[in-house]
C-alpha cells in the first residue's frame, strides 16, 4: 500500500534538493531519515519534515508497520517563481527570481491494497 506526503511552495531551489532526494529513493525509512538528519543543508531539513509527515500518515491513517516501509518515490518539482527587482546604477533594475518547489514523497510496504488487488485481478 502506498502512502504519500506533499510539501508545496517550499522556499528552496529545486536544483539544490534533487541530489539529496536521489540518494533516498529505494532506501528503507530509517536509512532515509538518517540521510536527511546527517546532512547540514536546508534541503535536508525540509525533505526530512516531509518524510516524517509521510511516516506519520502511514502509521496513523493506513496502520502500517514502520519497519517494512521503503521510499518508493521522492520527487522535487518546480513551483512558481517569486519575482523581485534589485536596484542598479542610473535608475536601472535587475530581475531576481526566487524559486520555490514542491516536495513529494511516496512510501510503500511492497504489498498491494485489497481494493486495488480485487479490481486488477
Query: What is the domain partition of the chain in residue ranges?
Result: 2-120
The whole-number pLDDT of residue 38 equals 95
**Torsional sign, CA 89, 81, 46, 20:** negative
Task: State the Cα–Cα distance between residues 47 and 113, nearest whole angstrom.
Answer: 26
- pLDDT mean across residues, the chain: 91
Q: What is the pTM of this model?
A: 0.85
Model pLDDT for residues 23-68, shown as the tens digit of each residue = 999 999 999 999 999 999 999 999 999 999 999 999 999 899 888 8
Per-residue cell: 21: 532526494
Q: Superfamily for 2-120?
A: Ribosomal protein L22/L17 (3.90.470.10)
Range list of H helices, 11-120: 14-24, 29-37, 42-60, 114-120
| DSSP line for 82-103 | EEEEEE-GGG-EEEEEE--EEE
- Tell me, what's the pLDDT at 115? 59
Amino acid at each position: 500500500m502506498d502512502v504519500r506526503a506533499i510539501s508545496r511552495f517550499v522556499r528552496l531551489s529545486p536544483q539544490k534538493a534533487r541530489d539529496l532526494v536521489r540518494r533516498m529513493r529505494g532506501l528503507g525509512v530509517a536509512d532515509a531519515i538518517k540521510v536527511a538528519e546527517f546532512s547540514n543543508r536546508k534541503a535536508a531539513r525540509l525533505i526530512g519534515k516531509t518524510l516524517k509527515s509521510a511516516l506519520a500518515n502511514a502509521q496513523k491513517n493506513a496502520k502500517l508497520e514502520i519497519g517494512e516501509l521503503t521510499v518508493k518515490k521522492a520527487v522535487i518539482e518546480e513551483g512558481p517563481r517569486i519575482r523581485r527587482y534589485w536596484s542598479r546604477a542610473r535608475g536601472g533594475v535587475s530581475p531576481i527570481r526566487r524559486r520555490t518547489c514542491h516536495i513529494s514523497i511516496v512510501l510503500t510496504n511492497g504489498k498491494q491494497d485489497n481494493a486495488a488487488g480485487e479490481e486488477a485481478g
